[in-house]
Amino acid sequence: MHPVLFHLGPITIYSYGFLIAIGALLGFTYLYFQGKKYFNVSFDQSNTLFIYLVIAGVVGGKFFMIFESPSYYLSNPGKLISGSGFVFYGSLVFAIPTMLWFFKKNNLSTWGMLDIMGPTACIAHGFGRIGCFLAGCCYGKPTDSIFGVTYIDAACQAEPLNTPLHPTQLYEATFIFSIFILLTVLKKKKQFNGQLFLIYIMLYAVGRGVLELYRADLERGFVIKDIISNSQFISLLMISGALYFYVKLRRKVLT
């Protein structure tokens, strides 16, 4: 595709970074207005929270790369900083406790704010996946279907070039934005605080588990070689944890 979006003189604007920036800006905008509307969250609080989440996301996303190839990254720790790439689940795992800590510190409704963070994550993540598509990372397996996309730019990370591949990045982006729409609809009918966030976690985890079947970047790692990938294993944990809290919170409403 187009790993380089355009040039501004000596400055190169990369597609991945540009789409991440767009997603972050739109995500922050959603977070601020929704937080202010429902919980009187100030601009400074929203801004501080977002900065913390960016830091947690970067650290977590890089840290989880270790599990893709433990021996390589433990022998070359500098590659985690200098190399490209993130693991979304790593970002999410680090972001959740960061949010819980921030909400408690600022006396904000934890579950209520998490319901806002679900759609916020969808916005930022969805645009990030479009950036992945343009950069060629997180690519899919070769396919003869009508959905196949062929990468020809040597700067792309997709392999092999000149071969139709499943555009798994677009599959995921479409799925993520669909979750956002669903959460927006359900927001008017939610039964308890936390419901939207837990639905987001479960739906994304299910979708990600299925999507792994079509991805071809095998360096992401496996818990059971060629059977259960790291992401599929984390998806199972996410579904189990979210389902537990969903049932627990729902019972409180019904009793």
**243 pLDDT tier (thresholds 50, 70, 90):** very high
**9 pLDDT tier (thresholds 50, 70, 90):** confident
Residue 245: count other Cβ atoms within 10 Å of its Cβ.
15
**193 pLDDT tier (thresholds 50, 70, 90):** very high
Rounded Cα gap, residues 173 and 194, in angstroms: 23
Write the pLDDT tens digit of every residue in 82-138. Answer: 555 678 899 999 999 999 999 999 999 999 999 999 999 999 999 999 999 998 888
**2 pLDDT tier (thresholds 50, 70, 90):** confident
**65 pLDDT tier (thresholds 50, 70, 90):** confident
Q: Which residue from 58, 29, 26, 31 is spatially nearest to 130, judged by alpha carbons?
A: 26
**254 pLDDT tier (thresholds 50, 70, 90):** confident
**1 pLDDT tier (thresholds 50, 70, 90):** low
> Which sequence spans correspond to the domains of the chain?
4-196
Q: What is the pTM of this model?
A: 0.91
pLDDT at residue 74 above 80?
Answer: no
Q: How many DSSP H helices and E strands does the chain contain? A: 9, 6
Write the pLDDT tens digit of every residue in 128-164. Answer: 999 999 988 889 999 999 999 999 988 888 888 999 9
Write the pLDDT tens digit of every residue in 19-63. Answer: 999 999 999 999 999 999 999 999 999 999 999 999 999 999 888
Rounded Cα gap, residues 27 and 45, in angstroms: 15
Model pLDDT, residue 93: 94
Q: Which residue from 63, 64, 67, 90 is spatially nearest to 221, judged by alpha carbons?
A: 67
